[in-house]
């Protein structure tokens, strides 16, 4: 069992030490998101094992419902691990989150099928997703805070963009494993037992991430806070107040996180997680074709993150967010409509690359924008909790809403639903200040 409360020493910060710590934190982030996304990547294969026989859309609805259940735990994770990170350190919270993810992946890998244990199979699947949801809910806010605080002021957008570089890399790794297993195993073997392999890989990789995170440095911002703050809260009128009460003193910032996340999260899950099923279920591609298209599309998106992050360091965060907001508002309906009608891999790839370029206006800098809104003592909680609540309500249900709309014969309604969410976020971007110039991360 690792020591989650490693003593904190003010580091002698150099660019080399910043990069080393950012790398260690990012690799851990990659493993966490790999573990999270293999559920979606392999749902096409394990859905029949956990649910009674039915048509493909019905089975996917069941697996998507449990995917959404995992999202319900993310606000709790954002709250608990956010508090933990603000009290005991970013490093300690990141260690704890990867332990929870490891446990969830291992449980999925070992759970027997419905045919063997009946209703207990989907119940255990739910438990595993609750653990993973708790982990991811805490991971986002703490990771965003860690990367933003560890980066220097001049390159903060660039370095913090690696949160989504590794997040997308986690998805890519899940697809690589899927492509490899599709080559090595037959379709019947994948449905019977092959889908368990990626969850075993995820549990083992989490141990590697745990080792790397034990050797990270704590951020200067948290170390300086520890030197001046009374533990567990602040003193106001000679009375100690909780972190949650401190957070409530920043209602505008909390609502800003909700508003800027709303459109971004639903666009992200629509064009990354749900797209693979959309290509099979609507456009008529094979599972292998859909996986390959998704892989190369996400590879492009991964490369775009640091580019857009670096642009935000030059022109500001707000123009980049506005690029996303306008693009998502005007582009979602035509992109999804054309994607459902295309029958060539290159056509689908081209449409999705356009979607990735638009989406990167949000994904590349959303972490640093949120971190720049809050003071050090509540930064992880302020970033993590409102973000997780928004993602749980909109991002976590995107796939389910999309499949339900298709099942009811009104699939196009989902495209307009995504567009409406993008419009709301666009309004927030138009009204908010540029956090590059108003940042509350004051150290270098």
pTM of the model: 0.80
pLDDT reported for residue 13 = 60
Q: What is the C-alpha separation between 146 and 217, in angstroms, rounded?
A: 10
Domain enclosing residue 269, as ranges: 20-230+250-438
pLDDT reported for residue 1 = 46
Closest C-alpha among 288, 282, 260, 272 to residue 361: 260
Average pLDDT, the chain: 83
- Residue 2: inside a domain: no
Q: Where is pLDDT greater, at 25 or 355? A: 355
- Residue 212: inside a domain: yes
Neighbouring-strand partners of residue 234: 241
Q: What is the CATH number of the domain that holds 97?
A: 1.20.1250.20
pLDDT at 297 over 70: yes
DSSP secondary structure letter of residue 283: S
Q: How many helices (H) and strands (E) does the chain have?
A: 23, 2
Residue-wise pLDDT for 271-293, tens only, equals 988 888 889 888 888 888 888 89
- Across residues 220-224, what is the average pLDDT? 75
pLDDT reported for residue 316 = 92
Residue-wise pLDDT for 187-197, tens only, equals 888 888 888 99
Q: Label residue 266 by pLDDT band (50, 70, 90).
A: very high
pLDDT at 18 over 80: no
> Which positions ≥6 away from 108 have C-beta within 8 Å?
39, 125, 128, 196, 199
Report the number of distinct structural domains present in the chain: 1
- Residue 123: inside a domain: yes
- Residue 444: inside a domain: no
- Residue 297: inside a domain: yes
- Residue 353: inside a domain: yes
- Residue 13: inside a domain: no
pLDDT at 212 over 50: yes
pLDDT at 238 over 80: no
pLDDT reported for residue 61 = 60
- 257 close to 382: Cβ distance less than 8 angstroms: yes
- Across residues 66-94, what is the average pLDDT? 81
CA atoms within 13 A on the CB side of 162: 23
- Across residues 119-138, what is the average pLDDT? 83
- Residue 311: inside a domain: yes
Percentage of the chain exceeding pLDDT 70: 88
């Amino acid at each position: 069992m690792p020591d989650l409360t490693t003593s904190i020493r003010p580091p002698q910060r150099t660019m080399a030490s910043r990069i080393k710590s950012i790398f260690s934190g990012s690799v851990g982030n990659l493993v966490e998101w790999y573990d999270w996304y293999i559920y979606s990547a392999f749902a096409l294969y394990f859905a029949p094992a956990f649910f009674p026989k039915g048509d493909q859309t019905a089975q996917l609805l069941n697996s998507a419902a449990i995917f959404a259940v995992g999202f319900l735990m993310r606000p709790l994770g954002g709250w608990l691990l956010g508090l933990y990170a603000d009290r005991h350190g970013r490093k300690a919270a990141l260690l704890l989150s990867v332990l929870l993810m490891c446990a969830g992946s291992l449980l999925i890998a070992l759970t027997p099928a419905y045919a063997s244990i009946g209703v207990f199979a989907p119940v255990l699947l739910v438990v595993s997703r609750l653990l993973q949801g708790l982990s991811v809910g805490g991971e986002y806010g703490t990771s965003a805070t860690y990367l933003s605080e560890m980066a220097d002021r001049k390159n903060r957008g660039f370095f913090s963009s690696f949160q989504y570089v590794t997040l997308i890399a986690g998805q890519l790794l899940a697809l690589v494993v899927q492509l490899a297993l599709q080559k090595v195993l037959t379709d019947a073997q994948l449905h019977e037992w092959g889908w368990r392999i990626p969850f075993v890989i995820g549990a083992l990789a989490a141990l590697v991430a745990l080792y790397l995170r034990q050797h990270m440095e704590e951020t200067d911002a948290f170390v300086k806070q520890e030197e001046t703050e009374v533990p567990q809260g602040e003193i106001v009128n000679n009375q100690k107040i909780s972190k949650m009460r401190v957070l409530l003193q920043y209602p505008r910032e909390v609502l800003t996180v909700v508003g800027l996340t709303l459109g971004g999260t639903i666009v992200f899950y629509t064009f990354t997680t749900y797209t693979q099923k959309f290509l099979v279920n609507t456009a008529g591609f094979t599972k292998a074709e859909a996986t390959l298209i998704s892989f190369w599309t996400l590879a492009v998106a991964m490369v775009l993150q640091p580019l857009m992050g670096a642009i935000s360091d030059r022109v500001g965060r707000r123009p980049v967010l506005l690029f996303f907001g306008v693009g998502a508002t005007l582009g979602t309906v035509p992109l999804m409509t054309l994607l459902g009608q295309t029958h060539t891999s290159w056509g689908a790839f081209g449409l999705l690359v356009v979607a990735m370029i638009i989406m990167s206006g949000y994904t590349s800098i959303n972490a640093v924008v949120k971190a720049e809104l809050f003071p050090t003592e509540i930064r992880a909680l302020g970033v993590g909790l409102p973000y997780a609540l928004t993602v749980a309500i909109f991002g976590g249900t995107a796939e389910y809403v999309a499949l339900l709309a298709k099942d009811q014969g009104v699939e196009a309604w989902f495209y307009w639903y995504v567009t409406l969410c993008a419009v709301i976020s666009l309004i927030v971007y138009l009204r908010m200040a540029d956090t590059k110039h108003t940042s509350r991360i004051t150290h270098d």
